[in-house]
Structure 1
Amino acid sequence: MKAYLEAGQFVTTHGVMGELKLYPWADGPEFIAQLPRLYLAPQGGAPLEIERVRAHKGMCIIKLRGVDDMDAARAYTGKTAYFARADARLPAGRYFVQDIIGCEVRDAATGAVYGTVRDITHPAASDVYAIQTPQGGTVLFPAVAEFLGELCPQEGYVTVRPIPGMFDGGEVDAGAD
């Protein structure tokens, strides 16, 4: 598993005191606020120490140590921010989306392989897994308790309990919008 994960993107400056707006790709401002530092490279590198974080219209307003004016903050706009996995705390049984993507999808009862998780979206109350089948199609799978079995990203798989027909020709066109 990756040691550094994507936190979001710095989209613009906020005010004249060096604050930045971060569009969070993680669970939101509350998650970002627990982090002590961010990084600008997927391998880590020099840490950007976080002085404070607050939520604002679904975004994070972040003040980084040493970034004290708008010109200094402007240098970060458009850049992706990363966090160290070691700095993050997740409740038991919760996983990072980036750890589930790439996992093999297996039937909980038979062990049959249905494909690989290629993407996870959050269109409503629950996540939806885009599962690429061995035939090259994509099945959109609702990640709800009734259908989702074990999540084992450390071992590289998830188990599912699909209803009949869920993986039988119900693929969506991979190129469809």
Structure 2
Amino acid sequence: MNEYLKVGKIVNTHGIRGEVRIIRNTDFDERFDIGSILYIKQNGTDDYIEVKVVSHRLHKQFDLVQFDNLTNINDVEKYKGSLLYVSKSNLIPLTEHEYYYYEIIGCEVVTESGERIGKVKEILSTGANDVWVTKSDEGKEYLIPYIEQVVKKVSVEDKTITINPMEGLLD
């Protein structure tokens, strides 16, 4: 069975020639390159519809994409609000110390001394570095910067992240 990762959401149509406006949920611009294969999960269904990108351009904060064989507004209108996915089998290899969001979200965060902090619930992209929003069992949130001075070890296999909290981080 194929597994999928969300890369964006179709928020509207654009013009009459079948372009859609996408809010992306990926750091990889190449997801929308011409020839890329994506999957639309139409609202209210469990079906993934394979589509091929035939044009892509940026417009304001949106990606404008047109898919093969969907050449007018009537072809794409039904996909407004639908999510876009990529197959996990088409993931781009990452370098050392780079992780996909799905690998980090849900990981248990502990200090080097073994104190449990909580689980990563969300990742915020700040431009300088990612910040991992970690929530304790008591509901307290901690913002863990993904920087070398703080994050000491990430084990995707064990779903654990070991940190050395800088002063004030856990207050």
TM-score, L = length of structure 1: 0.81
Superposed, 1:1-177 pairs within 5 Å as: 3-27=3-27, 29-33=29-33, 36-41=36-41, 45-93=48-96, 94-107=98-111, 109-167=112-170, 170=171
State the SS of the aligned residue for 1:47: strand
Q: Tell me the CA shift for residue 34 of structure 1.
A: 7.6
The answer as to whether partners of 1:105 and 1:158 remain within 8 angstroms in 2 is: yes
Q: Tell me the CA shift for residue 64 of structure 1.
A: 0.8
Q: Which runs of 5 or more structure 1 residues have no equivalent in the other structure?
A: 171-177
Could you say if the C-alpha distance between residues 55 and 20 of structure 1 is closer, same or farther in structure 2, counting changes exceeding 3 Å? same
State the SS of the aligned residue for 2:114: coil
Letter in 2 for 1:163: M
The answer as to whether partners of 1:18 and 1:71 remain within 8 angstroms in 2 is: yes
Q: Tell me the CA shift for residue 60 of structure 1.
A: 1.5
Q: Tell me the CA shift for residue 151 of structure 1.
A: 2.4
Residue matched to 1:173? none
Q: Tell me the CA shift for residue 23 of structure 1.
A: 0.8
CA displacement, residues 3-32 of structure 1 (integer Å, 9 cap, x when unaligned): 211111111222222111111011154443
The answer as to whether partners of 1:28 and 1:58 remain within 8 angstroms in 2 is: no
Counterparts of 1:22 and 1:57 in 2: how far apart (Å)? 11
Structure with the bigger percentage of strand: 2
CA displacement, residues 57-88 of structure 1 (integer Å, 9 cap, x when unaligned): 23211111110101112121111111112212
Q: Which runs of 5 or more structure 2 residues have no equivalent in the other structure?
A: none
TM-score, L = length of structure 2: 0.83
Counterparts of 2:142 and 2:3 in 1: how far apart (Å)? 29
Counterparts of 1:35 and 1:117 in 2: how far apart (Å)? 34
The answer as to whether partners of 1:29 and 1:53 remain within 8 angstroms in 2 is: no
Greater alpha carbon shift after TM alignment, 17-26 vs 121-130: 121-130
Counterparts of 1:148 and 1:35 in 2: how far apart (Å)? 37
Counterparts of 1:3 and 1:154 in 2: how far apart (Å)? 18
Counterparts of 2:35 and 2:152 in 1: how far apart (Å)? 30
Could you say if the C-alpha distance between residues 50 and 12 of structure 1 is closer, same or farther in structure 2, counting changes exceeding 3 Å? same
Q: Tell me the CA shift for residue 104 of structure 1.
A: 0.4
Q: Identity of paired residues, percent? A: 23
Counterparts of 1:117 and 1:48 in 2: how far apart (Å)? 32
Letter in 2 for 1:119: E
